[in-house]
Amino acid sequence: MQKKLLALLISTLSLAVQASDAIHTTPEQIHTSGRWQLTQKGYQATWAGVTLSARFNGESVGVVLNDERSFYSVEIDGKVVQQITPAWGKRTVRVKNLPAGEHTIELIRRNETPEYIGTVHGFTLDKGQWLAAPAVPKRKIEFIGDSFTAALANLSTKRECSDAEIGASTDISQGFAIKVARQLGAQWQTNAMSGMGLIRNWNGNLPDRDFRTFYPRQLHTDASSKLDAKWQPQLVVIGLGINDFSTPVNAGEKRTTEQRATDFQAAYRQLIAQLNERYKNPQIILTAMKLWPDDQQRPNVQAVVEQEKAVGNTRIHYLNLDPLQLTACQWHPNLSDHQQVAEQVLDKIKTLELAW
């Protein structure tokens, strides 16, 4: 019994020494992208597509996190090496057996959790050395939208899915927004919310809130959280209106069909004005697609572009998206659809005079 107790004590002391010897990152060694909020608890986020990256010299690296609802993709030197699934409690997920030398790790939050704050404490090394944080790209693109932009269930190959299947099959790092940003070597923000419309959510749900309620927040759950003023994209790509127009107005809603169109256009122009003021007149692309049953998104978005151009806004552009397969969960874009949209957006960007 004494030998067992001694062995247990030695094992416990060994774990304590390993923990104390771990080389953790400092905020100065991490490059953040997207709407993270750094607190005493760590890097906190609710939006999809936020990333943390760092450079190190070593053969293994760990991700320290506490997140029971989020999926993450771990990339080393631009290649996916591991997926992290939700789990309760603080833990360290390690990537081992890397070639000796310098590496870059990038952690991408795959999904959105508007009602839950996910926490990443940072990165850790058992051996090796942290290097200066990765350089920040000069090119910056912000993507604003709904579940299509958030890449909901883009890995799925079926339309009927459980909530668990939707979560596991969502990976915004393989969505059109990040594909576009990576092709252009740009830093991205993907500020998208599933089910939310600009003025009306899908099927009239949650009439007391809409996308405008949450867009000004660093964290969905904190109305007092403020956006980072340093974020200044040269290009904004917006895909809003699917939830506003994909279902007919129900009896008892506060807007008629005609009022929905009028209010949508006014709210969209107000959002554009706010973006122009905050980002010093970036180029803005508005996307739309033909929606069942009555194709209302396209004419309303086109009307916004025409109204803006009529008052001299030459930095506003319309992009009509080609028909999509929509074979992923709940009739969402699949991987092929996201590649198709990415190519269309890239072709549109080539026609713009971007100062980057």
Per-residue pLDDT of the chain (356 residues; tens, 9 = 90+): 444 433 433 333 333 334 446 999 999 999 999 999 999 999 999 999 999 999 999 999 999 999 999 999 999 999 999 999 999 999 999 999 999 999 999 999 999 999 999 999 999 999 999 999 999 999 999 999 999 999 999 999 999 999 999 999 999 999 999 999 999 999 999 999 999 999 999 999 999 999 999 999 999 999 999 999 999 999 999 999 999 999 999 999 999 999 999 999 999 999 999 999 999 999 999 999 999 989 999 999 999 999 999 999 999 999 999 999 999 999 999 999 999 999 999 999 999 989 88
* Boundary-marking domain end, from 130, 162, 179: 130
Nearest residue to 90 (alpha-carbon basis) of 59, 122, 112, 51:
122
Does any domain span residue 355? no
Domain that holds residue 264: 140-350
CATH number, residue 95:
2.60.120.260
Domain identity same for 191 and 242 = yes
CB atoms within 10 A of CB 18: 10
Q: Is residue 8 in a domain?
A: no
Cβ–Cβ < 8 Å for 279, 236: yes
239 and 329 both lie in a single domain: yes
Considering the domain boundaries, does residue 356 fall inside one? Answer: no
**Which of the listed residues 130, 149, 172 is the one where a domain comes to its end?**
130
Does 115 map to a domain? yes
Claim to verify: residue 150 and residue 83 sit in the same structural domain: no
In a shared domain, residues 162 and 298 = yes
Question: 284 Cβ partners below 8 Å, 6+ apart?
Answer: 235, 236, 237, 238, 272, 275, 276, 315, 316, 317
